[in-house]
Amino acid sequence: MRQLVANKEQLGWCIYDWANSAFATVILAAVLPVYFASLVPDRGADLFWSSQPVPATALWGYVISLSMVLVAVAAPSLGNLADRRGWRRRLLIIFCLLGSLATCGLYFAGPGQYLLAIALFILGNIGFAAGNIFYNAYLPDLTSGHNADQLSARGFAFGYLGGGLMLLIVFLIIQQHAWLGFADKGAATRFGFLLTGVWWIGFALPAFVWLKGVTVTTGTVHTLRTPRDYLKTFSDMRRYRHLGRFLIAFLLYNDGIQTIIAVSAIFAREELGLGTGTILGCFLMIQFVAMPGALLFSRLAGRFNTKRAVMVSLLFFTAITVYASVMNSAVEFWILGFAVAIVLGGSQAHSRSLFSSMVPKQRSAEFFGFYAISSKFASILGPLTFAILIEMTGSNRIAILALALFFIAGIMLLIGVDVEEGRMQAAASP
């Protein structure tokens, strides 16, 4: 009986990835960035901190960074609250509702309304990112060991399928807008945003029902209300030396991964001059190739080990970044997309499972709050660096090449992580 319940809990956990990955593909990665660029005036946006108009690519980087600052500051407190009060499921529902409703609201961001689009995207991205704190925190409760690698990869596989299917639906709506009765591609795109928000909340319902059986541990948890409290809890992680080292490495290399995901569509439109159909077609390919890619890396992790699988993916990402800085054509963009698809799922899934294996179980939500800080600060520093370099140099290519430094630094730190010792430290935690 317990096995049946556990299987249902794991299925619900995977289905939530299917649900919220619609936001990741349609809003964060492929469709909204291109639509957002069409809302910003050709000369750029007038912003109070800049003496000259800010181009759409740089503005998109600033917007992503701002939304992630808000999540990063709140993440440890939210994770702590989930552990201390047992509110993990409740907070997952709240942030899912926030994100999905904001996504639906993008339907009203018409021509020229880029400020409304910014506000709604920030709310949606907060819902997406904060909800993932509690979603990820379930992993060590659901399984452990290599089974965690497999479940984490399975969750990403569900996500790639769900996100890819939603992206395909939106792609068809945009491409066939006249036949479907929409006035233009912009109207069809906004309807796609509405549909994405409905998809997210609709497919999240099974997770909300089935995950309620997961036991929430009740160990001693520190309250994080002030910057001093943040520093104290972060200081506690010194007892878990290898977990802390991995967290810093993850912060650096995830910087590069998240920035590539967030800026590639707008880079393709503004730098390469590619059309919406070409860009969305490439992202569709990425979604469906990334699913078997995640499962392939799961096999590699089982045959060798999780850390080595992650490091291989980071070497590939370093090469991908260099290639991106010199590409010029649609064919090269597709080649780049295929390379990203092969390693994307493996790097994300196994980073999550590697972290979960070194986390003290009784503080899982709290520590996954710190994991979320790393992930969200990655989404602050990378896009911010990208935006600043564009304004300083006027070159999108220099900005994208600079991301290679994040991967190289992450690899160097990851080399020094002793995973087995990290797991023993977690198991010995009171």
Cα–Cα distance measured from residue 211 to residue 201, given in angstroms and rounded to the nearest whole number: 15
Judge whether residue 176 has pLDDT over 50: yes
Name the least confident of 109-118, 193-202, 208-217, 358-367: 208-217
3-class SS at 138? Answer: coil
Of 145-149, 208-212, 228-232, which has the strongest mean pLDDT? 208-212
Q: What is the pLDDT of residue 69?
A: 82
Does 422 reside within a domain? yes
Name which residue leads in pLDDT, 120 or 138.
120
Higher pLDDT, 424 or 226: 424
Amino acid at 199: W
Residue 369 pLDDT > 50, yes or no?
yes
What pLDDT is stored for residue 80 in this prediction? 66
- Averaged pLDDT score across all residues of the chain: 81
361 located within any domain: yes
DSSP 423: H
Which of 89-103, 287-301, 347-361 has maximum average pLDDT? 89-103
Max alpha carbon distance in the chain (Å)? Answer: 66
In a domain, 214, yes or no: no
| pLDDT-based confidence at residue 98 (cuts at 50, 70, 90) | very high
Q: Under a CB-based contact definition with an 8 Å cutoff, are residues 47 and 59 in contact?
A: yes
Residue 215 within any structural domain of the chain: no
DSSP annotation of 214: S
Domain membership flag for residue 220: no
For residue 196, is it within any domain?
A: yes
pLDDT score, position 375? 66
The percentage of residues in the chain with a pLDDT greater than 70, rounded to a whole number, is 82
> What is the rounded CA–CA span in Å between residue 346 and residue 352?
10
CA 284 to chain centre: 17
pLDDT mean over 19-39: 90
Query: Taking the model in full, what pTM does it have?
Result: 0.76
Most confident of 79-83, 87-91, 93-97: 93-97
Give the 3-state secondary structure of residue 69.
Answer: helix
Read off the DSSP letter of residue 359: S
Mean pLDDT of the 387-396 span: 84
Q: With 50 as the cut, is the pLDDT of residue 226 above it?
A: no
The whole-number pLDDT of residue 229 equals 53
Predicted confidence at residue 220, as pLDDT, reads: 45
Q: Is the pLDDT of residue 314 over 60?
A: yes
Task: Answer whether residue 325 shows pLDDT above 70.
Answer: yes
Helix residue spans in 23-145 (DSSP H):
32-39, 56-85, 88-105, 114-137, 139-142
**CA distance linking residue 236 with residue 200, whole number of Å:** 36
Task: Say which range, 1-5, 10-14, 212-216, 310-314, has the weakest mean pLDDT.
Answer: 1-5
Q: The tokens of 14 are what?
A: 């995977």
Q: Provide the domain limits for residue 417.
A: 2-209+227-427
- 368: CB partners within 8 A, 6+ apart: 79, 133, 134, 136, 137, 355, 356, 359
**What is the total count of domains within the chain?**
1
Any idea which of 33-37, 139-143, 309-313, 372-376 has the lowest mean pLDDT? Answer: 372-376
Instruction: Categorize the per-residue pLDDT at 83 as very low, low, confident or very high, splitting at 50, 70 and 90.
Output: low
pLDDT band for position 52 (50/70/90)? confident
Percent of the chain at pLDDT > 90 equals 26
Q: Is the pLDDT of residue 58 over 50?
A: yes
DSSP 49: T
For the domain that residue 145 is a member of, what is the CATH number? 1.20.1250.20
Nearest Cα to Cα of residue 31 among 204, 173, 156, 180:
173
Confidence of residue 254 (pLDDT cuts 50, 70, 90): confident
Model confidence at 218: pLDDT above 60? no
Confidence at residue 413, expressed as pLDDT on a 0 to 100 scale: 92
Residue 54 DSSP SS3: strand
Ordered DSSP codes for 260-321: HHHHHHHHHHHTS---HHHHHHHHHHHHHHHHHHHHHHHHHHHHS-HHHHHHHHHHHHHHHH
CB count, 10 Å around CB of 295? 18
pLDDT class of 323 with cuts at 50, 70, 90: very high
Domain membership of residue 394 (yes or no) is: yes
Residue 219: count of CB within 10 angstroms of its CB: 14
* Best mean pLDDT range from 44-53, 194-203, 338-347, 406-415: 194-203
